[in-house]
Amino acid sequence: MSTIAAIATPDAPGGISVIRISGNDAFVISDRIFRSFAGKTVQDMEGYTCAYGNIVDADEVVDDVVLTVFRAPKSYTGENVAEISCHGGRYITRKILRLILKNGAEPAGAGEFTKRAFLNGKMSLTQAEAVMDVISSAGETELRCANALKDGAVFRRINGLKNDLVKILADLAAWADFPEEDVPEVRPEVLLSELEELSQKFAKLAATYDSGRIIRDGINTVIVGRPNAGKSTLMNCLSGFQRSIVTDIEGTTRDVIEESIKLGDFTLRLSDTAGIRSTDDVIENMGVEIAFSRMKEADLIFAVFDSSRDLSEEDKRIISNIDLSKSVAIINKIDADSKIDRDYIYSIFKYVAEISAKNEDGIEKIEKILEEMFEHNDKPENGFIANERQKNCLERAAEYVNEAKTALESGVLLDGITVLLDSASEKLMELTGEKVSEAVVDDVFSRFCVGK
Ligand code: GDP
C-alpha cells in the first residue's frame, strides 16, 4: 500500500498543527525533510518516541517541529506512522504537507487513516464508524453512545448473536453430515424455540437504534389537538418563551413550528401542528395533512384536550387516529371550569397529565410520564446500533432468521434452513466488517474527514 499524508488538525490557525504520514515509507520520507537536533535519523528512532528538529527543503529551514514515531503494528493505522507537530499556521502547515508529498507520499483520502486501521485489523467496522461519531458528538450522552461503540460494545453484542447462530449452524451441520454417528438429533421443536429466542434478541438490538437516535436527536414529539385546546400555549410554556402566535381566534397556528426543548433528562423535538379540524381553508387543510403525517413518524404525541369544553367530534377524530401506545393525553385548562368527560379520557389513554398551560401548572407530571415511557431504554454503555447501515444489516439478518423459522414450520428440509441461517450470519459479518464488500467500506469512509 502507498504511503499517505494529510493534515490531521483543523484547517485554521492554532497553537500547533499535526501532519500525519502513514505507510511503509513513512520514515524514509520523513528522513528526507527532517533533521533532528540530536542527530538521529527517523529510521533509527524507537516506536513511541519523539525528536525535536527542523523541517528542511534543501537548504531552507521551513519550521522547527516535534516528530513522533509509531512503529507498525503499534500505531493507529497498524502501519509505520510519523506525526509532525509544527507551528499552527495554515500556510506553514500546508507548505510542510506539500513538501512531504513532493518527497514521495500521496495525499490521503477522506477517512483513509481509519480505513487502513480497519483493513489492518486494528478495529471492527462498527468501531471505525464510532471514530467519526466521537468527533461529531455534540453532547455528553451522545459521546457516551459513541464511546461505547468505539470500545466495541456493539461489536460484542453482535458477536454474541453471531455465536448463537454459529452454534445452531454447527448442530445442523453435524446432524446433516454424520447422521449415523453419535450426534444429537436436531429436533425441529427445539430448533424452532432457539430461532424464536434469537429473533427476539435481534429485535432488541435493532430497537437500540431508536434509543440512540432519541439520545442523539431528541424525542420526536408532536403536539396535536383541536383549535384552541392550548397547543401553542403548551409549546410556549415548555420552551420558556413566546414562539408560536397565541390568539383566541380558531385556526391561528397554520404551519408546523419546531423547537428543541429540555424536559428533565429528555430533549424533546417539539412540533406544534395546525389545529386538527375539518376546514375549507386550503392552507389550513394542508397543515392538517402535515399534522397527521407527522403523527405517524413521531416517537411521542401530546394530545391536548380543552377541559373547559365537552369532547368534540374533532377530539374523537384525533383519538381514533393516533397511536395510543406513544400518546399522552394532556387535559389542559384545569384552572377553568371543567366540562370534559375525564373518565372517558382515562379509559382510553394509559398516560394522562392534567395541566394548566397558561399558569404553567402540572408540567412536572408530564416529566414523570416521560420517565415512565422512556426509562426502559437501554443504557448507552451497553452499545447502541448507531446508523442506518448497521440497522439495515441487522434487520436483514433478522429477516433471514424469521424466514428460517417459517420454513421450519412448513416442513422445509434442514438443508434449506441452513442456507437461510448462513445468509443471516453473513449479514452480521457485513455489519461488523468481517465480510464486507469494498463498495460498502468505501461508502462508510467517504463520510469521514480528511486526516482521520
Ligand atoms: P391552540 O389553537 O391549540 O394552539 O390554542 P392556543 O394555545 O392558541 O390557546 C387558545 C386559547 O386558550 C388562548 O386564549 C389561551 O390563552 C387559552 N389557554 C391556553 N391554555 C390555557 C389554560 O391552561 N387555561 C386557560 N384558562 N386558558 C388557556
Candidate of 249, 250, 273, 358 to mutate for ligand 1, largest count of ligand atoms within 8 Å of Cβ: 358
The residue whose CA is least distant from atom 18 of ligand 1 is 230
pLDDT in tens, 36-51: 999 999 999 999 999 9
In the 8-state DSSP scheme, what is residue 327? Answer: E
User: Contact 222/295 with Cβ under 8 angstroms?
Assistant: yes
Lowest mean pLDDT among 12-21, 129-138, 400-409: 129-138
Lowest mean pLDDT among 5-9, 75-79, 203-207, 344-348: 203-207
pLDDT in tens, 401-451: 999 999 999 988 888 999 999 999 999 999 999 998 888 888 888 888 888
Candidate of 239, 246, 331 to mutate for ligand 1, largest count of ligand atoms within 8 Å of Cβ: 246
The backbone torsions φ and ψ at residue 60, rounded to the nearest 5 degrees and listed phi first, read -85, 130
Mapping DSSP to helix (H, G, I), strand (E, B) and coil, where does residue 301 land?
strand
Cα(146)–Cα(154) distance, integer angstroms: 10
Atom of ligand 1 nearest to the CA of 336: 26
Atom of ligand 1 nearest to the CA of 355: 23
Q: In what order do the strands lie in the sheet with 351-354?
A: 257-263, 266-272, 219-225, 300-306, 327-332, 351-354
pLDDT in tens, 337-350: 999 999 999 999 99
How close is the Cα of 369 to the center of ligand 1, in Å?
Answer: 22
Strand partners of residue 36: 53
**Sequence-ordered list of residues with C-beta below 8 angstroms from that of 157, at least 6 positions apart, any chain:** 205, 382, 383
Residue tagged 430533549 (cell numbers): 267
Average pLDDT over residues 233-241: 81
| pTM exceeds 0.75 | no
Would you state the pLDDT for residue 150?
85
Would you state the pLDDT for residue 208?
87
Cα(78)–Cα(248) distance, integer angstroms: 67
How close is the Cα of 226 to the center of ligand 1, in Å?
Answer: 11
How close is the Cα of 332 to the center of ligand 1, in Å?
Answer: 8
Identity at 4, one-letter amino acid code: I
The pocket around ligand 1, CB under 6 angstroms, is made up of 225, 227-233, 246, 248, 252-253, 275, 332-333, 335-336, 356-358
Q: What percent of the chain has pLDDT over 70?
A: 89
Mapping DSSP to helix (H, G, I), strand (E, B) and coil, where does residue 302 land?
strand
pLDDT at 242 over 50: no
b/e code 416-440 from CB counts within 10 Å (16+ = b)? ebbebbebbbbbbbbbbbbebeeee
What integer best gives the mean pLDDT of the chain?
Answer: 87
Lowest mean pLDDT among 249-253, 327-331, 365-369, 410-414: 249-253
The residue whose CA is least distant from atom 19 of ligand 1 is 230
Atom of ligand 1 nearest to the CA of 361: 23
Q: Kindly tell me the sign of the dihedral angle through the C-alpha atoms of 375, 376, 379, 383.
A: negative
Would you state the pLDDT for residue 181?
65
| Closest listed residue to residue 30, CA positions, set 50, 16, 8, 10 | 50
Q: Which of 228-242, 258-272, 380-394 has the highest mean pLDDT?
A: 380-394
Q: What percent of the chain has pLDDT over 90?
A: 55
pLDDT in tens, 61-107: 999 999 999 999 999 999 999 999 999 999 999 999 999 999 999 99
| Closest listed residue to residue 99, CA positions, set 44, 59, 62, 67 | 62
The residue whose CA is least distant from atom 16 of ligand 1 is 358
Atom of ligand 1 nearest to the CA of 225: 3
Crossing angle of helices 153-177 and 388-409, in 10° steps, is 30
User: Contact 401/195 with Cβ under 8 angstroms?
Assistant: yes
Q: How far is CA 328 from the centre of its chain?
A: 26
Average pLDDT over residues 134-158: 83
pLDDT band per the 50, 70, 90 thresholds, residue 385: confident
How close is the Cα of 293 to the center of ligand 1, in Å?
Answer: 24
pLDDT in tens, 300-357: 999 999 999 999 998 998 899 899 999 999 999 999 999 999 999 999 999 999 999 9
Residue 361 has which C-alpha cell?
401548572
Would you state the pLDDT for residue 358?
94
Would you state the pLDDT for residue 147?
87
The residue whose CA is least distant from atom 15 of ligand 1 is 230
Atom of ligand 1 nearest to the CA of 357: 23
Residues shown for the chain: 452
In the 8-state DSSP scheme, what is residue 356? Answer: B
**Sequence-ordered list of residues with C-beta below 8 angstroms from that of 58, at least 6 positions apart, any chain:** none
Q: Kindly tell me the sign of the dihedral angle through the C-alpha atoms of 47, 51, 53, 55.
A: positive
Q: Which of 48-57, 164-173, 207-216, 279-288 has the highest mean pLDDT?
A: 48-57
How close is the Cα of 277 to the center of ligand 1, in Å?
Answer: 16
Cα(159)–Cα(18) distance, integer angstroms: 36
b/e code 117-136 from CB counts within 10 Å (16+ = b)? bbbbebbbbbbbbbbbbeee
Would you state the pLDDT for residue 450?
82
Atom of ligand 1 nearest to the CA of 272: 4
| Residue predicted with more confidence, 408 or 278 | 408
How close is the Cα of 352 to the center of ligand 1, in Å?
Answer: 18
pLDDT band per the 50, 70, 90 thresholds, residue 288: low
Strand partners of residue 181: none
pLDDT band per the 50, 70, 90 thresholds, residue 284: low
